Amino acid sequence: MALYEYSAFDAQGKKHRGVVEALSQKAASKKLRGQGLYPVKLATARGGAEVTQRSLFRRVSTVQLGVATRQMATMLTAGIPLDEALVMVAEQQTQGSLGTVLTQVRDDVLQGSSLYAAFQAHPKVFTPLYTNMVQVGEASGTLDKVLLQLAEFMDEQARFNAQFKAALTYPILMFLVGSGVLLFLMAFVVPKITRMLEDLEQALPVPTMLLISTSSFLAKYWWLLLLVIIGIGLVIRRVSSTTKGRFWLDQRKYRLPLIGNLALLGATSRFARTTATLLRSGVPLLTALEIVQNLLDNSYLQQAMETVREKVSEGAGLSEPLLEAAVFPPMLAQMAAVGERSGELEGMLLKAAEIYEHQVQTKMNGLMALLEPLMILVMGTVVGFIVLAILLPIFQASQGIG
């Protein structure tokens, strides 16, 4: 099958653009006419004709998909038919491949496919969480409400991720720039200065000797350090490629000082919010846990969730298996227990997600407030040592002359 980009008009004279899949250009034109569209332009899609849908489309950003989902929900609430809503949303996508994907989804729907099955054909764009919630919305006749819940979920997820990245940007940039400047000084600038100091023909102070030795090593063996860094990266990659190695690394990730607890709180908030969103949309608890387990990018958490899911399938509630797993903070299980007793499990999980997101934000702000002056202090100390090591022999030489 080949993909063809088209520009066409319908019976009302409205212009449509998108991509259609067919065996040939003639078959694509016939397919469009069958949909009530009259093509004025039909060409092979960019990137090659003989490509599959899964290999053509890249992952769409959470923000873009969230906006498109909210638009679809609004249109369906207003009574616009699904196929027209998909076309209207697709035409508003000016960047990326989402517009093309939605056009193909609309084609599949017109051919008799369910919406969730059409979404499942594009796993790089629509996650299992997305397609399962759409399936529940279609079955219950509440597709517009489910899409709105999905949009709110993705907006909250995008906001949280943006805050997290923004908090890390400044210290990471500062560390990289500072480290680069210090390495440049030690490898290229300091050696020229130390040669002048050695020409003074006097006993050099210990700090100066240490600076000369360090600078000479970096100037001669900087490639060795680079090889060591690359080697460590390759070892970590090799270990993470095995099941046991990846589990060991994923488990140790949450035991790192300072950032380990922060990462665990972030994972807890994502688990709570995702599970609550699925439950609120009508997805059964076991199915919701299976979806969340597949969405987690940590094998240590996935194994714990597998144990929790097995106990729930045997008739247990959610709170006790969570507490026995001893992976997430105990408060999550406690709030889940309250939710189970009151019949408001999804509401309590959402509240837990908000609490943990607030804790992540607070701890992140505190960590950044600590890291920034600490990095300035470290770099200032190194620069001060370099200046001291250079000036000491000059002072000694001036005193000898005096």
Tens of pLDDT along 142-169?
Answer: 889 889 988 988 888 888 778 777 777 8
Encoded tokens for 152: 């709110």
Q: How confident is the model at residue 189 (pLDDT cuts 50, 70, 90)?
A: confident
Helices 243-253 & 206-240 angle (0-180, nearest 10): 130
pLDDT of residue 352: 93
pLDDT at 255 over 80: yes
For 327, half-sphere exposure in the C-beta direction (CA atoms, 13 angstrom radius) is 25
State the average pLDDT for the chain.
Answer: 83
- Residue located via tokens 């019949």: 343
Q: Is there a contact between 328 and 271 (Cβ–Cβ < 8 Å)?
A: yes
Determine contact, residues 45/72, Cβ cutoff 8 Å. no
pLDDT, residue 308, reads: 93
pLDDT at 291 > cutoff 80: yes
Query: CA 172, 174, 176: angle at the middle one, nearest 5?
Result: 70
Burial class (CB within 10 angstroms; exposed 0-12, middle 13-18, buried 19+) of 128: middle
Whole-number CA gyration radius for the chain: 30
d(Cα 126, Cα 136) in Å, to the nearest integer?
15
From 227, 224, 199, 226, select the one nearest 212 (Cα to Cα).
199
Closest CA to 119 of 136, 132, 105, 109: 105
Average the pLDDT over 94-123 and give the result. Answer: 84
Stated pTM of the model: 0.67
Residue 302 structure tokens:
């996935």
**Which residue segments constitute the domains of the chain, with CATH numbers given?**
1-51 (3.10.20), 62-126 (no CATH), 140-402 (1.20.81.30)
pLDDT tens-place string over residues 33-90: 887 887 877 777 654 433 344 434 456 788 888 899 999 999 999 999 998 899 888 8
State percent of the chain over pLDDT 90: 19
